[in-house]
Chains A and B, each alone.
Chain A
Amino acid sequence: MRKKQDDDKPGLAGPATLILSSLADGPKHGYALTKDVEAFAGVRLAPGTLYEALARLESQGLIEALAAEDRRRPYRLTAAGATALQAHLDAQRRVAETGLRRLRANWGTP
């Protein structure tokens, strides 16, 4: 039952989180997205991976396409996308805080 519920959630694994985080700063087209993600995450999204994730996020209603500009189409975050990103990042923050706290307590790392 738990697995079925997880399957139904819009996936925010890997590229999806990076794309939504980039679009949280404003609409961008594919190339600008690649550059922004590379700048803030140090990850270069390959074109196939980027558009696979864009198509899936669009079908889930988490992003939407704007009118094309010079054969490039910008995408922007929807309200549902912002909510999903917020929930995902909150969960990630809880994991990160727990891991860091345990490392400090047991391994003496700063």
Chain B
Amino acid sequence: MNSATERAARLLRWYPRAWRERYGEEFAQLLIADMQERPRSAVRTLDVARAGLAARVAAAGLAPGLSLAGQARASLGALWAALALCLALSAAMWSQLAIAWRWTPGNPIKTPTLTTGTLTTGTLTTGVLAFIALVALAAIPVGHAVARDFGRRLVLPALVLAAALAVLAFGGHHFIYQWPGTGGRGGPAVPAGLLAFVWSLTYWFSASWGHWSYLSGLSPQDLAWMAVSPLALAAAVAAAVTLVRRADLPPRLLAYETRVAGAACAVAAVFLACCAAWVYAGGTPGPAHAGLIDIAGTALLAVALAAACQARHTALRTMRLTGRSQ
């Protein structure tokens, strides 16, 4: 392999695999011809890097660039992956804030007064419950469509999804009352068990990673769960996205999923506004104090919501073009 061929092969790595499979050989020939005319060119390298990253963004469903049939599914997958991250962050902040609020000195647990804290936790509770309901509304018809046309290409992602959900359900239940703070204290709006379960599922979202003395006091099982649970969550989301991208979903279902996702984006926006207001105010003194982890979580929530909105825009545009071409 000569120098130009090697350099062309290196430049091709900027592009996603599917793009390389389709255009890689002919693109490499063009690069080699270009290198023979201009042996060294930083502009060419930057141009290939930029176009390669743009192709990766398109392959992720965040921008146009794929065939219309694949684009809608890719965008829908990216949309729900971003919303899953929104839900995970929202649920983590909600459960920790709600439980911390119940432990705040002087806070009446049974009959909360109308304060900023109760308003925030109340809105976040409503938001999380609405978010979970919307995820169920989206998942049920997709699950039905996948089950109806189940083929070999869906076996692996379906198995990974089932395994990841089993790990989350078992682990979340196993560690439900082992964390400090859960303790079975409930309230009028949310059952203590639900709060503790969500806390257990999302305890990886914690400032304790930065406190060695606290971490060293946890058992190996607790530490393993803190490491495994986000991986299981990521595996579940990746497997669900792969199912959506590989399944033959009818256009009406894609349109329905996009509408439900729009409602979920609105819920996430309310959630973001609440979290931002709470973080901006510095939280409340005591256990419900907003820390660096909450600022990072709110910023990440904003990025995930922006990605979800971008993916939804691409999905809607693709569906309009698909409808017009039929």
- List chain A positions with a Cβ less than 8 A from chain B: 7-8, 29-31, 34, 46-52, 54-56, 59, 61, 68, 71-73
For B48, the chain A residues whose CB sits under 8 A away are 46-48
In the complex, 13 of the A-B residue pairs with CB atoms within 8 angstroms, ordered by the A residue number, are A8-B321, A30-B26, A30-B27, A31-B30, A51-B23, A52-B54, A54-B23, A55-B19, A55-B55, A55-B65, A59-B67, A59-B71, A71-B26
Q: Closest Cβ of chain B: how far from A52's Cβ, in Å?
A: 4
Beyond A8-B321, A55-B19, A72-B29, is A47–B66 a contact (Cβ under 8 Å)?
no
Does B34 sit at the interface, judged by CB under 8 A?
A: yes
By beta carbon, the residue of chain B nearest A8 is B320
- The CA-CA distance from A2 to B54 in the complex, in Å, is 26
- Known: A47-B34, A59-B71; 10 extra A-B contacts, CB below 8 A, are A29-B26, A30-B30, A48-B49, A48-B50, A51-B23, A51-B51, A55-B22, A56-B65, A59-B68, A68-B25
By beta carbon, the residue of chain A nearest B23 is A51
For B44, the chain A residues whose CB sits under 8 A away are 46-48
Contact between chains at A34 and B30 (CB < 8 Å): yes
Contact between chains at B51 and A68 (CB < 8 Å): no
- The CA-CA distance from A23 to B154 in the complex, in Å, is 40
By beta carbon, the residue of chain A nearest B324 is A8
Contact between chains at B30 and A7 (CB < 8 Å): no
For A34, the chain B residues whose CB sits under 8 A away are 30, 34
- The CA-CA distance from A31 to B26 in the complex, in Å, is 10
Contact between chains at B67 and A31 (CB < 8 Å): no
Contact between chains at B47 and A46 (CB < 8 Å): yes
Does B293 sit at the interface, judged by CB under 8 A?
A: no
Task: Give the interface size bracket for B toward A.
Answer: 20 to 34
For A49, the chain B residues whose CB sits under 8 A away are 47, 51
For A56, the chain B residues whose CB sits under 8 A away are 64-65
- The CA-CA distance from A30 to B317 in the complex, in Å, is 29
Contact between chains at B325 and A71 (CB < 8 Å): no
Does B207 sit at the interface, judged by CB under 8 A?
A: no
Q: Closest Cβ of chain B: how far from A25's Cβ, in Å?
A: 19
Contact between chains at B55 and A71 (CB < 8 Å): no
For B324, the chain A residues whose CB sits under 8 A away are 8
Q: Closest Cβ of chain A: how far from B28's Cβ, in Å?
A: 8
Which 6 pairs of residues, A with B, have the shortest CB-CB distance?
A48-B51, A46-B47, A48-B47, A30-B30, A48-B48, A52-B51
Main secondary structure of the interface of B (DSSP, over half): helix
Does B1 sit at the interface, judged by CB under 8 A?
A: no
- The CA-CA distance from A44 to B31 in the complex, in Å, is 13
Does B270 sit at the interface, judged by CB under 8 A?
A: no
Contact between chains at B55 and A7 (CB < 8 Å): no
For B157, the chain A residues whose CB sits under 8 A away are none
Contact between chains at A31 and B33 (CB < 8 Å): yes
Does B296 sit at the interface, judged by CB under 8 A?
A: no
Does B52 sit at the interface, judged by CB under 8 A?
A: yes
By beta carbon, the residue of chain A nearest B43 is A46
By beta carbon, the residue of chain A nearest B28 is A71
By beta carbon, the residue of chain B nearest A69 is B26
For B51, the chain A residues whose CB sits under 8 A away are 48-49, 51-52
By beta carbon, the residue of chain B nearest A7 is B317
Contact between chains at B29 and A52 (CB < 8 Å): no
Contact between chains at A71 and B68 (CB < 8 Å): no
- The CA-CA distance from A25 to B48 in the complex, in Å, is 27
Partner of B31, one of A47, A68, A71, A73: A47
Contact between chains at B47 and A30 (CB < 8 Å): no
By beta carbon, the residue of chain B nearest A68 is B26
Contact between chains at A72 and B26 (CB < 8 Å): yes
For A71, the chain B residues whose CB sits under 8 A away are 25-26, 29
- The CA-CA distance from A8 to B23 in the complex, in Å, is 25
Q: Closest Cβ of chain B: how far from A14's Cβ, in Å?
A: 13
For A50, the chain B residues whose CB sits under 8 A away are 30
Interface residues in B66-82 (C-beta closer than 8 Å to A): 66-68, 71
For A73, the chain B residues whose CB sits under 8 A away are 26
